[in-house]
Structure 1
Amino acid sequence: MQFADRLNNVETSAIRELFKLLGKPGIISFAGGFPDSAMFDVEGLREASARALQEEPGAALQYGATEGYEPLRTQLAAFERSKGVTDIEPQQLIVTTGSQQALDLIGKTLVNPGDKVIVEGPTFLATIQCFRLYGADVIPAPIDAQGVQVDKLEALIKEHKPKFVYLVPTFGNPSGALLTRERRLKVLELAVKYQTLIVEDDPYGDLYFGDAPPPSMLALSRDVPGSREWVAHCGSMSKVLSPGLRVGWLVAQPELLQRAVMCKQFSDAHTSTFAQATAAQYLKAGRMPATLKRVREVYAERARTMAVALKRELGDAIEFIEPQGGLFFWARLTGAGGKVKDANEFAKRAIEKGVAFVPGAPFFAKDPDLSTLRLSFATAGVEKIEEGLGRLGQAL
C-alpha cells in the first residue's frame, strides 16, 4: 500500500507510546496532559444535557452549521468578553472539535510544503506534528520562565519570514511559562511590524493559582493598533469543563475563518451539536465560575505539594520554576553529585520504581535538550504526589 509522502514528516506521539508502559499495576503517573476526571462537574453537565434535549431536541440531535451552534457561539463570545475581549461578536468565532482541530485547520489553510513556522522551544508536541504533516519547516524560538524571548523571536522572524508564529503564552505545555504583559504587547507590535500572524493557543489560561494572568493577546490587541487582524486565538473547554465534549473555538479574521470553515466541512461537517448544545446550556446556567474556583484550588494545592516534594526528594539534581497555573512542571536534570542527567534513562529507571513522567526531548522541534522532563500534577492527589516523588528520588 502506498501512503502519502506527508506521513514521512511525522511519527506517533512519544507520549502516547509511553502510555503503553503504564499498564503495570501500581504505577503512579505524572505523564498525562489531561485534567482530573474527579474535577468534572458531572451534575452540572447532566442538567445541561437534559435542558438541551428538553428545550431544543431537534437542534441538539440534528446536523448543524459548520460554523457552530449559534447559542454556543453566543455564549463563547460572552465568555471571551468576560476575559477582556470587549469587542467580540459570535460571528467572529467558529466552534471546533477541540482546540486541536483549530490548530489543524490553521495548518490546512495556511501551510504549504516548505513554509516556515515559528514555535516555542519547547512547545506542545501535537502542534509540531500537525504543522509538519502539512510540510512546514518548524523553527523553535527560545523561551524562559516569562515565555518567548521577544528579541530572539524578532531575529527569527526577520531571518525566516514565517507563515505564522505559534505561542502558548499562558502556562504553556510543557513549559508552564507565563508570558508577561510587556512581552505580549511586544509580540503584537512585531505582528504589525512584520505583518506576521500570531497563533495564540490558550487552553490553560483559566487555570491560575493566585492572581489572574495578563489578558490574552486577543484581548490586548485593542492596545496595539492594527494587531487584531494578525491574531488567531484558539480556545478550549477541555481543561476547564470536559475533554469528552470536544468543544473548542477559533477567533480570527474573516478571511481565515471562511477558509477554516470550508476545510472543516471536509473533515467532520460540524462539531457534535449535542455536545455544543450541552456546553451552551452549561455556560448559560452560570456554573463555570464556581467550577473554575474549585479546580484552581485543587490544582494549586497539588502544584505546591509537587514543588516541595521535588526539592526534598531530588534536591540539587533537578531544577525547575514553580508554575503559577496550568497543569505542568517543566524541569531539568542537573547531574549534580553524579546523578543521572539523561531524562530518557531517568524515565526507564522511574518506570522500574513505579512512577512515570514524560522526557522533554519530543517537545523540541529541533536541538532537543535531553536533560529536560515534564511532570503533570493534575491527576494525582496530594498523597500520590508525595509517594510518587519519593519513588522518583530513588530512581536517580
Structure 2
Amino acid sequence: MLAKKSANTKSSPVRELLKFSKMPEFISLAGGIPATDMIDMDGIDGIVSELLQSDHRQMFQYSVTEGELEFREEIAKLNALFHLKTPADQILITNGSQQAIDLLNRVFLEKDDIVLVERPTYLAALQLFSYTEAIVEEVAYNEQSIDLEVLESVFAQGKVKMFYVIPNFANPTGHTLDYSTRSAIVNLAHKYDVVIVEDDPYGHLRFEGEAVPSLFSIAQSLYGETHNVCYMSSFSKIFAPGLRLGWLAAPLKYLSAIIVAKQALDLHTSTFNQHIAASYLASGKLVERLKVLQTTYRQRRDLLIAALEKHLGGMITFNKPTGGMFLWCRLNVEVKASELLKACIDEKVIFVPGEVFFSKNPDHYTLRLSYSMLSENSADEGVSRIAKALNKLL
C-alpha cells in the first residue's frame, strides 16, 4: 500500500510530454531542456579522452559527500568571475539542482510547515514540497515583480519557514527580479527568520541587459555569515544535463545538516562525472561556451516571437525575457490551454499548459513555450500548427 504522500504526488506533465518530443514528426515547445545541438561534444570528448589516458582509477572510487575538492574549487573560481563569493568549503555537489531542492526540503521542512513560492513557479519544486507534505502558499506578482507589501504581510504572520524563489529568468514566467526587490526580500527574510532558497539554473543564460547580484551575494554583504540564503545552480543548462551535476552553497550554520542529508540519500555524486566537469571548467571552455549559448538563445527567442506575431496575432500575449529559455503566454480567446494542447497533439506540436505551475487556483489560459530547441523552420512551423489547432477549436 502506497504512503499517502506518494499516492497524492502526481507525475510531472512536462515529463509525460517528453514521449512526444522523442518522435521526429513532433515539434516540441514543451521541455525546459538545453539545446542538444549546442552541447560541446568536441570539447567533452577531448576531456574524457584525456582523463581516460591519465591515471584515473580513483575516478571510479567512492568520493566524499561534499564532492571532489578539485571540482568545488573550479566552481568557486567560476563564480568569482561573476562576482559570486562561494568558497569551496561552502559548496556541496548534487545530482542536478533538483537534488539540491530536495535536500533543503528534507532539512528545513516538516509536515504542515509553510513554504512560500512565486505564483506561478517551477513544477518539480511543487512536487518535492508535496512529498514533504508541506503547505504551499503563493505570493503574486505585481506586474513584473513580487508584491513586497503582500510578502511582508505573509512573513509577519510568523508561519512561513521557507521562501523558494527563482530570481533570474524564472521557470515558467521568464521574470527577473531587480536589485531593489532582491534586497527587500533578503531584509524581510532576515527580519522574520525565513530561509530563502535561491534557485538559479538560468542565470548564465542572460543575453540582454546587466546581470543583477544574487540574493546570496546581497545577503552576504548585509549580514555576513548570519545570513539565511541557500543558493543553488546547475551545469545542466550550460554544459551537459545527462551528467546530472548541480551544486549548492549555504551558510556554514546550515551546511553540516545538508551534508548529512546528502549522505543518507546517496552518499555522493558520481566521481567520474565530477572530474569531467572539473577538467572542462579548468580548460576555460565553459566561459567561452556561455557566449555561444547566449547568442543562440537570443536568436531562438526572437524566432519564436516573430512566429507568434505572424500566426497568432492578437490571440495571444506574451513576455519578452532577457535570458533563459521560456516565453510565458496567455490566450486572449475562450479556449483553455489544456484543451488547446489536446488539439495540438493531433497537429504534432506540444507545449506546457500554464495551469501545472500553480499550487492552487490555476490560470487555465496560460501556457509556457520553450524556444531552446527551435530552428528558424521549426519555430515558424510549430506556431503555425498551434494556430491551426486553435482556429479549429474556435
TM-score range, shorter chain: over 0.9
User: Structure 1's 129 and 316: CA in aligned 2 closer, same or farther, altered over 3 A?
Assistant: same
Opposite residue 53 of structure 1, the aligned amino acid is L
Aligned-residue offset at 1:48:
2.0
Flag structure 1 segments of 5+ consecutive residues without an equivalent.
none
User: Structure 1's 384 and 7: CA in aligned 2 closer, same or farther, altered over 3 A?
Assistant: same
Aligned-residue offset at 1:314:
1.1
Opposite residue 340 of structure 2, the aligned amino acid is F
Work out whether residues 147 and 169 of structure 1, in 8 Å CA contact, stay in contact via their aligned partners in 2.
no
- Which of 127, 132, 135 aligns to 1:134? It is 132
Match of 1:32 in 2: 31
Greater Cα shift, 43-52 or 168-177:
43-52
Aligned-residue offset at 1:20:
3.8
- Which of 100, 103, 126 aligns to 1:102? It is 100
Opposite residue 269 of structure 2, the aligned amino acid is T
Cα distance in 2 for partners of 1:52, 1:257 equals 31
**Secondary structure of 2:140 counterpart:** strand
Match of 1:354 in 2: 348
Alignment partner of 1:15 is 2:14: yes
CA deviations 1:330-355 (Å, max 9, x no partner) are 101111xxxx4311111112122221
Greater Cα shift, 379-388 or 137-146:
137-146
Aligned-residue offset at 1:25:
5.3
**Secondary structure of 2:160 counterpart:** coil
Aligned-residue offset at 1:24:
5.7
Structure 1 residues 1-396: aligned runs within 5 Å: 2-22=1-21, 26-86=25-85, 88-143=86-141, 146-159=144-157, 161-225=159-223, 229-335=227-333, 340-396=334-390
| TM-score, with structure 2 as normaliser | 0.95
**Secondary structure of 1:374 counterpart:** strand
User: Structure 1's 54 and 326: CA in aligned 2 closer, same or farther, altered over 3 A?
Assistant: same
Cα distance in 2 for partners of 1:284, 1:206 equals 17
| TM-score, with structure 1 as normaliser | 0.94
**Secondary structure of 1:118 counterpart:** strand
CA RMSD of aligned residues (A): 1.7
Cα distance in 1 for partners of 2:147, 2:230 equals 20
Flag structure 2 segments of 5+ consecutive residues without an equivalent.
none
Opposite residue 365 of structure 1, the aligned amino acid is S
Cα distance in 2 for partners of 1:387, 1:328 equals 18
CA deviations 1:94-148 (Å, max 9, x no partner) are 1001000000001111111000000111111000000110111011111256342
User: Structure 1's 227 and 164: CA in aligned 2 closer, same or farther, altered over 3 A?
Assistant: farther
User: Structure 1's 277 and 145: CA in aligned 2 closer, same or farther, altered over 3 A?
Assistant: farther
CA deviations 1:241-281 (Å, max 9, x no partner) are 01011110110122322112112112221100000001000
Work out whether residues 322 and 329 of structure 1, in 8 Å CA contact, stay in contact via their aligned partners in 2.
yes
Greater Cα shift, 14-23 or 58-67:
14-23
Greater Cα shift, 51-60 or 177-186:
51-60
CA deviations 1:301-323 (Å, max 9, x no partner) are 01011112112211111111111
Opposite residue 302 of structure 2, the aligned amino acid is R
**Secondary structure of 2:384 counterpart:** helix
Opposite residue 381 of structure 1, the aligned amino acid is S
Work out whether residues 192 and 227 of structure 1, in 8 Å CA contact, stay in contact via their aligned partners in 2.
no
Work out whether residues 189 and 227 of structure 1, in 8 Å CA contact, stay in contact via their aligned partners in 2.
no
Work out whether residues 121 and 142 of structure 1, in 8 Å CA contact, stay in contact via their aligned partners in 2.
yes
**Secondary structure of 1:65 counterpart:** coil
Cα distance in 1 for partners of 2:147, 2:301 equals 25
**Secondary structure of 1:100 counterpart:** helix
User: Structure 1's 286 and 223: CA in aligned 2 closer, same or farther, altered over 3 A?
Assistant: same
CA deviations 1:25-75 (Å, max 9, x no partner) are 521110111001110111111222233334451331111001100000101
Work out whether residues 236 and 242 of structure 2, in 8 Å CA contact, stay in contact via their aligned partners in 1.
yes
